[in-house]
Structure 1
Amino acid sequence: MGKNIIGRENEIKMLQDIYTSSVSEFVAIYGRRRVGKTFLVRETLQDKFVFDVSGLANATTRDQIVNFTLSLNRHAGEQAFKPAQSWLYAFEQLIALVEKSKARRKVLFFDEIPWMDTHRSGFVTALEHFWNSWASARKDIVLIVCGSATSWIINKLINNHGGLHNRLTKTLYLKPFTLLQCEEYFSSRKISFNRYQIAECYMVMGGIPFYLSKIERGASVAQNIDQLFFSEDADLKNEFHNLYASLFKESDEYVRVVEALSAKAKGLLRDEIVKATKIKSGGGLTKILKNLEYCGFIRSYSAFGKKKRDVIYQLVDFYTLFYLKFVAENKYNDAHFWTNSLDTPLRNAWAGYAFEMLALLHIDEIKQAMSIAGIQSGVAAWRSEKSSPAAQIDLVIDRKDGVTNLIEMKFSTDKYVITKGYEENLRNKISVFKYETETKNAIHLVLLTTYGVVQNKYSGIVQKQLTLDTLFTI
Structure 2
Amino acid sequence: MTNINIIGREEEKALLEGILANGIADLAVVYGRRRIGKTFLIHNCLQKHISFEYSGIHNVDTSVQLTGYCQALAKQLNNNIDLPVTVDWFAAFDLTAKLMQKKLRRKKTVLFLDEFPWMQTPKSNFLAAFEQFWNTWASRQNNLAIILCGSAASWMIQNVVRNKGGLHNRITQKIALQPFTLYETEAFLKSRNVQLNRYQVTQLYMAFGGVPHYLNQASAGQSAVQIIEKACFTKSGFLYNEFTDLYKALFDAADRHFKVIRALAAKPMGLSRNEIIRVCKLQSGGSTTNLLEELSASGFITPYIPMGKKMKDSIYKLTDEYSIFYLKFMEPNRGGSKGTWARLSDTPAWKSWSGFAFESICSKHIPAVKIALGINGIYSETSIWKSNRNSSSDGAQIDLVINRRDNCINLCEIKFYENKFSLDRKYAAALQQKKNIFRLETKTNKHLFITLITNMGIQPDENSIGLIDQYISLDQLFVPWQKEG
Moved more, 226-235 or 286-295: 226-235
Q: Compute the TM-score of the two structures, normalised by the length of structure 1.
A: 0.98
Q: Which residue of 2 aligns with 1:21?
A: 22
Structure-2 residue corresponding to 1:98: 100
Task: Give CA-to-partner distance per residue, 1:356-406, whole Å, 9 cap, x none.
Answer: 110011000101111111211111111112152131111001112111110
1:298-337 matches, cutoff 5 A: 298-330=301-333, 333-337=336-340
Contact kept in structure 1, 2:233 and 2:334, CA below 8 Å: no
Q: How many residue pairs were aligned?
A: 474
**1:196 aligned counterpart, secondary structure:** helix
Q: Does residue 360 of structure 1 match 2:363? A: yes
Q: Which residue in the other structure is 2:212 paired with?
A: 209
Indicate yes or no: 2:397 matched with 1:396: no
Aligned counterpart, 1:83: 85
SS of structure 2 residue aligned to 1:328: helix
Q: Distance in 2 between matches of 1:118 and 1:308?
A: 34
Is 1:455 matched with 2:456? Answer: no
SS of aligned partner of 2:175: strand
1:379 corresponds to: 382
Partner Cα separation in structure 2 for residue 431 and residue 340 of structure 1: 41
1:291 to 283, 290, 294: 294
Tell me, in whole angstroms, the C-alpha distance in 1 between the residues paired with 2:43 and 2:335.
42
Give the counterpart letter for 2:367 in structure 1. D
Q: Distance in 1 between matches of 2:289 and 2:31?
A: 21
Q: Tell me, what secondary structure is at the counterpart of 1:20?
A: coil
In the TM superposition, what is the alpha-carbon distance from 1:266 to its structure 2 partner?
2.2
Query: Can you list the C-alpha shifts for 1:186-222, whole angstroms capped at 9, x where unaligned?
Result: 1111111001111111111111000001111111110
| 1:108 counterpart SS class | strand
Instruction: Letter of the 2:85 partner, please give it.
Output: P
Q: Does residue 166 of structure 1 match 2:169?
A: yes
Work out whether residues 30 and 172 of structure 1, in 8 Å CA contact, stay in contact via their aligned partners in 2.
yes
- Give 1:2's aligned residue: 2
The 5-angstrom pairing of residues 49-448 of structure 1 reads: 49-75=50-76, 76-101=78-103, 102-330=105-333, 333-386=336-389, 388-389=391-392, 390-448=395-453
* Aligned counterparts of 1:378 and 1:155: Cα–Cα separation in 2: 27
Q: Is the 8 A contact 1:232 1:335 kept in 2?
A: no
Do the aligned residues in 2 keep the contact of 1:231 with 1:336 (CA within 8 Å)? Answer: no
Take 1:334 and 1:286, find their aligned partners in 2: how far apart are those partners?
A: 42
Q: Percent of aligned positions with the same letter in both sequences?
A: 40
User: Structure 1 runs of 4+ off > 4 angstroms?
Assistant: none
Q: For 1:332 and 1:137, locate their aligned partners in 2 and report how far apart those are by CA, in whole Å.
A: 59
Q: Aligned equivalents of 1:23 and 1:342: distance in 2? A: 54
One-letter amino acid matched to 2:37: G
Q: Is contact 2:71-2:82 (8 Å) kept?
A: no
Tell me the TM-score normalised to structure 2 length: 0.96
Partner residue of 2:483?
A: none
- Structure-2 separation of matches of 1:17 and 1:189: 29
Structure 1 residue 80: deviation in Å? 4.2
Contact persistence 1:229–1:236 (CA under 8 A): yes
CA shift, 1:277, in A, is 1.1
> Secondary structure, in 3 states, of the residue corresponding to 2:453?
strand
Aligned to 2:477: 471
Query: Residue 36 of structure 2: SS of its match in structure 1?
Result: coil
User: 1:264 Cα shift?
Assistant: 1.4
Q: Distance in 1 between matches of 2:49 and 2:345?
A: 50
Q: Name the amino acid aligned to 1:413.
A: E
* Alpha carbons 1:227, 1:335 under 8 Å: kept: no
Tell whether the 8 Å contact from 1:54 to 1:112 is kept in structure 2 after alignment.
Answer: yes
RMSD: 1.2
The aligned amino acid for 2:89 is W
* Residue deviations 1:23-57 (CA, integer Å, cap 9, x gap): 11110001111100000001111121110000001
User: For the residues of structure 1 that align with 2:108 and 2:71, how far apart are their CA atoms?
Assistant: 22
The amino acid that maps onto 2:30 is I
Q: Distance in 2 between matches of 1:95 and 1:249?
A: 31
Q: Is the 8 A contact 2:29 2:171 kept in 1?
A: yes
**Structure 1: any 5+ residue segments left out of the alignment?**
none
Q: Is the contact between residue 377 and residue 398 of structure 1 (CA under 8 Å) also seen in structure 2?
A: yes
Once residues 122 and 331 of structure 1 are traced to their aligned partners in structure 2, the CA distance between those partners, rounded to angstroms, is 43
Once the 2 structures are TM-superposed, how far is the Cα of residue 2 of structure 1 from its aligned partner?
2.5
AA aligned to 1:134 is W
Give the CA deviation at 1:331.
6.5
Q: Deviations over 1:301-337 (max 9, x none)?
A: 2111223321211111111111111112227613322
Alpha-carbon distance in 2 for matches of 1:106, 1:310: 47
Three-state SS of the structure 2 residue aligned to 1:444 is strand
| Cα distance in 2 between the residues matched to 1:219 and 1:401 | 46
> How many Å separate the matches in 1 of 2:190 and 2:441?
47
Indicate the larger mover: 298-307 or 17-26. 298-307
State the AA in 1 paired with 2:54.
V
Whole-Å separation in 2 of the counterparts to 1:269 and 1:50: 48
Contact 1:107–1:141 (CA<8 Å) still a contact in 2? yes
1:130-183 alpha-carbon deviations (Å, 9 max, x no partner): 111001112111100100001111111111111100001100111111111111
Q: Could you tell me which amino acid in structure 1 is paired with residue 473 of structure 2? A: T
